[in-house]
Every structure is written in C-alpha cells, then in structure tokens.
A and B are shown apart, each in its own frame.
Chain A
Amino acid sequence: MKYDVIVIGGGHAGCEACLATSRLKKKTLLITGNKNNIADMPCNPSIGGPAKGIVVREIDALGGEMGKNTDKSLLQMKLLNTKKGPAVRALRAQADKITYKKEMLKTLESQQNLSILEAMAEDLIVDNGKISGVVLENGEKIYSKALIITTGTYLKGMVLYGSHKVSSGPHDERPSLHLSDALKRLGFTIKRLKTGTPPRIKKSSIDYSKAVIQPGDPNLYTFSFSMKPQYKVDEQIPCYLIYTTEKTHKIIKDNLKKSSMYGGYVEGVGPRYCPSIEDKIVKFADKERHQIFLEPESIYYDDIYIQGFSTSMPHDVQIEMVHSLPGLEHAEIVKYAYAIEYDAIDSKQLKPTLETKLVENLYTAGQINGTSGYEEAAGQGLIAGINAARKLDGKEALILKRNESYIGVLIDDLVTKGVMDPYRLLTSRAEYRLLLRNDNADIRLTNYGREIGLINEEQYSIFEKKLKDIELLKNKLKSIRLTPKDDINKYLESLNSARLYDSITLYDLLKRPEIEYENIERYVDEKFSFDVIEQVVINIKYEGYIAKANKEAEKMLDYEKIKINDTIDYNKVPNLAKEAAQKLNEIRPVSIGQALRISGVNPADISMLLLYIKRNYNE
C-alpha cells in the first residue's frame, strides 16, 4: 500500500496536517495509537488566549480546522484584553473536551483521501536521505512519499508524580518507545522536555459559594470567519476564581522534596510560561496568594480542571493541597495531577517549511518540535501539511513572514533560535503585533489559503464581500462631510469633542480619540456589519501607529530579501566570530534577515557576512 503522505499522531498538529494534505488531494494515512483519542485535550479545556487565539483565527483563514471545531464545541467564549488596544485582543474559548474530539473525528472520517489506522509507528524507512515510509510495531511496512511526525508528548513519554515514574502517554495511553531512537539514528538531536497538568475534581464536591464567578462574554463571537455562532450567550458555562491559602503554601513548602520536580526525579526542562504551583511558591515566595481558576471540562462528565495548580506531588500531598483551597475542603479528586516527560527534536534542525534538514520529505510539527499548546501545535501541523503537499506537487513552499502572522513568528523562532524549554507563543514575541491582530487574520491570510486550495468558494465569497464593504464604508466616511452647523456642534460638545469651525469628513472626525463609530453612525446612510466597521475604525484610529509598524516591517523585509546561498561555508567567511560561524553553520539561515535574529550573531558578523556574500555571490 502506498500513500502520498503519512501522518504519525492524531493530536492537534496531526489533525491539521492530515486534513490539509488530504484536502490538497494527497492520499493520506493518519496513524494513531487510539482513534478515540484523536484531537484530545490532555491539559486545559481552553483554546485561544493572547497570541494563541490569533493563531486559531490564522489557521481558519488559511483553511485549517481548529477554529471551526472549537466553534462547534464551545462551553464559553471571551474576548480578552478589551480594555487594551486592538492589537492585543484575543478570543479564548472553553471547549467541551468530548464534543471537540467527536466533532474532529467526524470531520476526519468524512474527509476524502484520508484513512485512519490504529497502530504504533516504530521506525522510519529512509532511502538516500529521503523518507519513504514507516515500520509498524508488527513489522508491517507502509510506504509514502512524505511523512509528518506529530507525536506530542508520546515519544518515550514518562508520567511522574512524587517519586513515581511510569512509562506512559497522557491518560494511560501507550507511549511511543522506539520512534525517537529511530530519529536519533538518523542524526537528530533528541532533547528531553517536561510539562505538567493539574488535578481534576468532582464538580459536585465543590462549594462554589467561596468562589468568584467568571461568566462568558455578553457578546457572541466565533473563531472561524465563516461560521455562525453555535451557542447562546446566556447558556455559557461559567468558570470560577479562587485563591491559594496560607495553608496551601505551607503544605507545599513542607513537602517540596516529595515532588518529582524538587525531589530530583525529572530530567526534562519544563515550560517557564506555565509553571507548576510548586515553582510559583518557591520562585515568588513573597506572594501571599495565587489565583486559581476552576474550569469545566465537558457537559458529559463531572470533572473540573484546577487551572494554575499543576503539580508533581505524590497523591496524598495532592489531596491535602486541594483541600486547603477555599470551597474545595471536601473536594474529591477524580484525576491526579502529574508531570510528563517526553522526547523532542532540536527545532534548529528544521527548515522554515518544517521539513527536516536531515531527511527529505520528512516533516515534524507540534510538541516534538519543542512547543507547548494546542494552538501552536495546530498551526505547525497545518503548515507542515501544506508544505508536504506542495512539495509533492512541485509548488513553492508556504513560509509565512513575521509581519504577516503569528504562525510565521512561531516557526521562524523555532528554526532560527531553537528552544530551551517548551515554547509558548506570546504577543511579545511578535515585533509587528499591531499588524497581527485578531480582527484582520482573514485579511492577512485568506488569499494564501485560497491560492493553496484550502479555502472553498463559499468561504472566499464571504471574505470578498467583507473586503468590498470595507472599501465602501471607507469611501463613504471620506466623502460624507459635517459642516459647522449649530446642531452638529451641540452634538459634538455633548460628546466632549471640540466644535467645528470648518467642515470635516467623518473619516477625519473618527481620528479624534473621543469619537467612536456609534457617535457618527447616524450620518452614514447604510448599515455595515460589526467586523467591517471594526476593520475600518481600527485603520483610521491607529493609522499613524500602523504606518510605523509597516515601515519597521519593510526594513526587516529588505534584509529578508538578501538571500544567503545554501552552499555557503561560514568557516570561510573572514573575521566572523567563532560563535557566530558555528551558529550560522548550524542554523544555515536562508536570508540576512533570518541571520540577524540568531542570538550570538552580532552586527559586526552581519557586516562581514554581507561583504562576503557581495564578493562571492553577487558579482
């Protein structure tokens, strides 16, 4: 049996990857250890959040599935950072873990060109530096032209709590014991990473009277640009906020050495951005309390996720810890918290297409690349899938730039800087985040999705209509003028806005910080949808800042345009600092722009490199 593409692993990266390739008409096989565990959310029940929520929208604009699947399984939706500027707003959903898996499996099963196989992949078949298939546990060989590995935390997965250390994937799933050895044999650097998850408790055993309710947003939102909201505002399920107590801190301090982490049982490096409660208490000893959120996992079962309480303490200590929390005095633990260690590759061994440098047509995406988070995984899976398919078709790869998407930032960081601890996307990683907004992900990326072939006619026509309306509204605002008449001036003064002495267009009036679209809507003779208005208003109000960001981005693009020949030997570039030469040889940047972002390569090195390129390649 021969496939175009095999995807190993059915997590968030694997789902996007196999959907992308099969939708691009590549005969695809998804190999998963357990079909019922496809698209599982083994940690928190939420999708989105700052930066991550924007990634979900980018995935949707490119033709991926995560946004739509989340919209189908919402328990609650929130637009975050509404009191801040438009650049940092982001959606976050509480998704029903059961519905999410069910809906994704339904999509996969109804997808043409896609088959699913329950099996464990043990080895890779490589011919002349090119991938040609996979060997299963039972010795069966399956061949393919391209292969995408999205194994999450399953490579030599090791679950830890206290001094216990058990070879396992999440929720007692079977770990993959041999695949990382196969990668090692091929020359990949294998590193050990760690992550963790908090305990789940029985909802009925919680006294919510001591908690602060955190309801969903009063406005309806969707991640997907082509979906209608599938939920009702007042049917959203709330989360709850509580705080750790003095007692909690004492229990943790007294038992610190019993935790896997502080007892020295963990080899892997954990994520800085998502610390365990032990870490928080040790590193921020002066903080009297920490926030803890109680989040629903599903309407089909009773588990409540204790956000902010991940730990690797032994079970008896976990019980004590949970019982020290207000309202949880009698809480019943359904699933204990644990830390999990797993193998990952060095992401510097990847090209910006997510193809490995060592083996042609072999791609990796998700936690195997050192990232953390469902959204980061899905974004990579989608890009790996798109690029695997495009390479088989002899088409140009899709490499998103740092000024056009968070996914581009993520992948560029991975392949240029590598990771020390599990990588999480943050808005601060994006230097042009004003351009990478939640509201304009479709405008940035839909055309790519369309060109690639993942955006269908219907979705595209929604997008085209939006663009047309944006132009229309902009032109209207530019042509409608207010004159300094008494009633208009009175109205403006009532809004604490200065009187008019000359006529002014609505466009210019909107530039005043105190004037919102609602205030001038009465002068516009046509109704526009919220997202059209939002787009136009943001572009008017923040014109100056957006222009600055674009200018900065152009500077970066100029450096990006100076390509570095693939055959360059950095040891031959005169006067390059040793560290720089070594880093450049390792990463082999495709452009001066990328070289600039490598840590340890300083401006003097860049000038030497430029000089060398000029001498040896351009003349």
Chain B
Amino acid sequence: MDDVIVAISTALGKGAISIVRLSGKGSIELVNKVFKGKDLTKVESHTINYGFITYNDELIDEVLVSVMQSPKTYTKEDIVEINCHGGIATTNKILEIMMLNGARLAEPGEFTKRAFLNGRIDLVEAEAVMDLINSKTERARAVALNNLEGRLTSIIREFRQELLELLANIEVNIDYPEYEDIEEVTVSDIKNKISQMKDRLNEIISESETRKIIRDGINVAIVGRPNVGKSSILNRLIGQNKAIVTDIAGTTRDVVEGSITLNGIVLNFIDTAGIRETSDIVEKYGVERSIEEINRADLIILVLNNNEKITKEDMKLLNLLDSKKYIAVINKKDLSRKINIEKLNLKNLIYTDTVSSDGVEELKKKIIELFNLDEIEQNDYEIFTNTRQITLAKECLEILRDVEKAVNDNMFVDMIEIDIKRIWTKLGEILGENYSDELINQLFSQFCLGK
C-alpha cells in the first residue's frame, strides 16, 4: 500500500485529451523526474502546471500536470494527474514511462480502495463506486451515483438516529428510575416506531431485490423439451445475427447465451443445456439439472409445443415452476392445436410462431410487465445495491419482527431494548461504522488485501 499506483483514468480512444493518474506517497517526485517545467515538488498543492513529459531527453508530449498533495485528495494520498494529448500511442507511452519509473499499474477500483482504506469514503460509498465501475447500463449508473451521494446513507442514518433517541430514552428510565422529568417509554411507543421502521425497511428491501436486477440484469432460463423451439425463441429475442453459441464444455454454470437490453435492463439468457442439443435433454440430464437451472434464473420461459399433447416431461418442468416467475410460451401456434393445458391453470400464457416472429413482441411486453420495468424508470432509487447490504437489512427486518413479537407478548421494555440496540448496530454495519466480520470479509474479498 506504500507504492505509487498509476492508471489511465479516461476511456482510451480518440478523445482530445487523456488523463494518466497516479496516487501514493512519492507520486509527485516520480512525475517530477520525467517532467520538464517547474519543479513539481515545490509547487503549491492543487495547482495545474504546464510542461513536457520527457523520456531519455526526448520530449514525449506537451502536458498539463495537476499536483494534489495529501490529504485533501480523492485517496487522501498525493495524487498527480497528467493531462496529455489523447491517442492510444501517446497515452500508453506516458503510462509506460510512469511504470518504468516505479509506479505500479492500478488494479480495477484501487484508487477507490485507497480512498476507503484511508478513511476518505465510507463502505457504502466505496461499494457504490465499485458498482459504478461495474455497472452495465445507464440506469445502474444512476443507482450507483445516488448511493455515492449518500442518499441511502442518510436514510440509514435517519433510522439510526430515531433508534438512538428511543434507546437513550429507555436508558434514562433505567438509570434514573425515580426521576419524573423524563417520560417513561412504553411498549406502545416502541410498537409505533418499530412498525413504521419495519414497513419502510421492508419497502426498501423489496425494492432493492427487484432493483438488484438493474445492476445484475435478469437471468432468464428458457426450458422445455427438445424441438419445441427454444433456440428459435432465443434467437428471435436477441436478434438472429447476435446469437452467440458458446461451446465451452463444463463451464455451463456461468455461460450466458446472449443478452438483450429491455427498457434499459439487461436480460441474460443463461445456458439451459439443451438449447443447443438435439437429443432428449430432459431424459439425458434428468430433472436434477433443470432444477438447478431454474433456481438460478429470475425468470423462466417454459416453451411448450402447441402441436403436441402435454407429456410427462412437460409436467415435470411445470411442477418446478411453482414458486418462480415464469412465462409459458405455447410455440408453433400456426400448427394445429393439440395441446391440452386447460386444466393446468397456467399463468402468463403467450402464443408464438417463431417462423413469422409472431408473438415475440408480446413476450417482451410480458417480461416488462412481470418485472415492473416501466415503473423502475419513474421511481427514485433509494435502495441497497449489493448482497451484503441486503443481507444485513434483512437481518434487521428479522430483529424488527422479534421486537414486534416481544411487544405483543408484553415483554419488559428494557429487554426489548436489547434487540433495538442490535438493529442499531446492524444498521451501523451497513454503513461500515460498526465493526463486524461481515465487513472484514467484504474488505478481504472485494479488495483482495493481504497479498
């Protein structure tokens, strides 16, 4: 962590200028060695300095160098930004010169990691930056930015403040039992506050879960017996020419067949082992395999053949769909109807004819409807964006339920308070203000410390 890291912090391409950024103790000295102009180690902090980057006495580029001394910088370390002329060759050359002089190429997100570790930003903000870097669509970017501004942070702080006031009041009642000046907190006071908070948190969590797809996209599995038209439907959805058929054996778990953007949300079609196969996959891999795939998916598209009666295999698949979001596609609607689904009480029925693309638009509309993709656009984004936050928030919700139960059992206020304190602590963990294993695990996994 003592070394100087460097990265090109603008997109590589034909832009008018590119920025090469360095951070770490010694970065100013490092740049100074190859800078022709003022002595950068003597210039004032937060100034922009005109000059040239040289290499072996050769002028490489005319540049503007921003010098920002620790600690008032993004990483709280010394930062130097070299504004050079765009173009891959020059920018890369400058990057290379920096590395030859002792800088190390930054890992993705390493500037942010340093900002976090040096206490410049909190964990939620750091996570938001990571989300921002990883976000695939404009909308995910909007959510990440929102977190960065600390809106979620301020909501959680509000919760904590409310709890803290409640806690303080209860504590005063305990420590000053005979003083009438302070009102005694009653079980019903707790009840009101807690149920409000529970509802609000519940809202945010369920929003978050739906919206998690904003970042990660919706995983869609297309399942069905062979030859019912699964691949045709996939191709119709993602556009024939875009159809990617990967053929990596044994890597099925993470293989995405292709993806489309629907109302700004990424739909990932996960490999359902069988789309490419011609042999009877349900028999070959068994229902086991299908279960796994169905569990991984946020949405199942079950394809059935209009021209055939429901088979045992169809029934097996249907039984798996019970608790999942699914769309039942009756394909080959142009052929004569033999399918007997009247008694099955299927939801979200769509009829398609993949030869003429008939029904495919309807299918897309159904997906939009099922995930409220229209609504997402209109709402504010005050949500948890990653699993760690959602898990902690769910734990809070669990404790809030305990509190409600205890309130109904007429438990002593000071006992209930123990749980209220736990919620307060857990909310602190979400913010990274309270220490917990969760946090350290997160640190070690996401920021690969300890190397």
Give the residue among B178, B409, B439 with the most A Cβ atoms within 10 A.
B178
CB of B32 to closest CB in A, whole Å = 23
A residues near B348, Cβ cutoff 8 Å? none
Nearest 6 Cβ contacts at the A-B interface: A85-B412, A428-B171, A85-B415, A603-B435, A88-B174, A85-B414
A residues near B179, Cβ cutoff 8 Å? 291
Q: Are B418 and A574 in contact (CB under 8 A)?
A: no
A577 touching B119 in the complex, CB below 8 Å, given contacts A291-B181, A548-B422, A611-B450 = yes
A548 touching B174 in the complex, CB below 8 Å, given contacts A284-B181, A603-B433, A611-B450 = no
A81 touching B174 in the complex, CB below 8 Å, given contacts A88-B414, A434-B418, A606-B435 = yes
Q: Are B174 and A604 in contact (CB under 8 A)?
A: no
| B434 lies within 8 A of chain A by Cβ | yes
**B side interface size, CB within 8 A:** 42
B85-132 contacts to A, CB under 8 A, are: 114, 116-119, 123
In whole angstroms, what is the CA distance A192 to B451 when docked?
48
Closest chain A residue to B170, Cβ basis: A428
| A185 lies within 8 A of chain B by Cβ | no
Q: Are B180 and A291 in contact (CB under 8 A)?
A: yes
A51 touching B175 in the complex, CB below 8 Å, given contacts A434-B418, A545-B415 = yes
| B413 lies within 8 A of chain A by Cβ | yes
B residues near A604, Cβ cutoff 8 Å? 116-119, 432, 443
Q: List 27 A-B contacts (CB under 8 A).
A: A50-B174, A50-B175, A81-B177, A85-B412, A85-B413, A87-B415, A88-B174, A284-B181, A291-B180, A426-B171, A426-B175, A427-B174, A427-B175, A428-B167, A428-B175, A542-B415, A548-B418, A548-B419, A577-B118, A602-B433, A603-B439, A604-B116, A604-B117, A604-B443, A607-B117, A611-B450, A614-B450
| A112 lies within 8 A of chain B by Cβ | no
Q: Are A87 and B432 in contact (CB under 8 A)?
A: no
A180-225 contacts to B, CB under 8 A, are: none
A263-322 contacts to B, CB under 8 A, are: 284, 287, 290-291, 293
Q: Mark A417-446, 1 if CB is under 8 A from B, else 0.
A: 000000000111001001000000000000
B residues near A575, Cβ cutoff 8 Å? 1, 114, 117-118
A87 touching B450 in the complex, CB below 8 Å, given contacts A81-B177, A610-B440 = no
Q: Are B171 and A603 in contact (CB under 8 A)?
A: no
Closest chain B residue to A428, Cβ basis: B171
| A177 lies within 8 A of chain B by Cβ | no
Q: Mark A81-92, 1 if CB is under 8 A from B, else 0.
A: 100110110000
B residues near A608, Cβ cutoff 8 Å? 117
Closest chain B residue to A51, Cβ basis: B175
B159-196 contacts to A, CB under 8 A, are: 167-168, 171, 173-181
Closest chain A residue to B118, Cβ basis: A575
Q: Are A611 and B181 in contact (CB under 8 A)?
A: no
Q: Are A513 and B435 in contact (CB under 8 A)?
A: no
A residues sitting closer than 8 Å to B (CB atoms) are: 50-51, 80-81, 84-85, 87-88, 284, 287, 290-291, 293, 426-428, 431, 434, 513, 542, 545, 548-549, 552, 555, 574-575, 577, 596, 602-608, 610-611, 614
B residues near A88, Cβ cutoff 8 Å? 174, 414
In whole angstroms, what is the CA distance A284 to B117 when docked?
42
Q: Mark B429-450, 1 if CB is under 8 A from A, else 0.
A: 0001111010110011000011
In whole angstroms, what is the CA distance A603 to B2 when docked?
20
Q: Are B177 and A50 in contact (CB under 8 A)?
A: yes
| B410 lies within 8 A of chain A by Cβ | yes
A residues near B450, Cβ cutoff 8 Å? 611, 614
| B411 lies within 8 A of chain A by Cβ | yes
CB of A451 to closest CB in B, whole Å = 31
CB of A545 to closest CB in B, whole Å = 6
Closest chain B residue to A290, Cβ basis: B181
Q: Are B181 and A287 in contact (CB under 8 A)?
A: yes
B residues near A542, Cβ cutoff 8 Å? 415
In whole angstroms, what is the CA distance A164 to B414 when docked?
45
Closest chain A residue to B408, Cβ basis: A513
In whole angstroms, what is the CA distance A315 to B170 when docked?
38
A residues near B444, Cβ cutoff 8 Å? 607
Q: Mark B294-320, 1 if CB is under 8 A from A, else 0.
A: 000000000000000000000000000
Of the residues A428, A606, A611, contact of B449 by C-beta under 8 Å? A611
In whole angstroms, what is the CA distance A84 to B412 when docked?
6
Q: Are B177 and A80 in contact (CB under 8 A)?
A: yes
A residues near B440, Cβ cutoff 8 Å? 603, 606-607, 610
Of the residues B178, B414, B443, contact of A87 by C-beta under 8 Å? B414
Q: Mark B234-268, 1 if CB is under 8 A from A, else 0.
A: 00000000000000000000000000000000000
Closest chain B residue to A273, Cβ basis: B175
Q: Are B443 and A607 in contact (CB under 8 A)?
A: yes
In whole angstroms, what is the CA distance A291 to B435 when docked?
41
In whole angstroms, what is the CA distance A555 to B181 when docked?
37
B residues near A428, Cβ cutoff 8 Å? 167-168, 171, 174-175
Q: Mark B33-62, 1 if CB is under 8 A from A, else 0.
A: 000000000000000000000000000000
Additional 5 contacts, C-beta under 8 A, given A575-B1, A577-B118, A604-B118: A84-B413, A293-B178, A428-B174, A610-B440, A611-B450
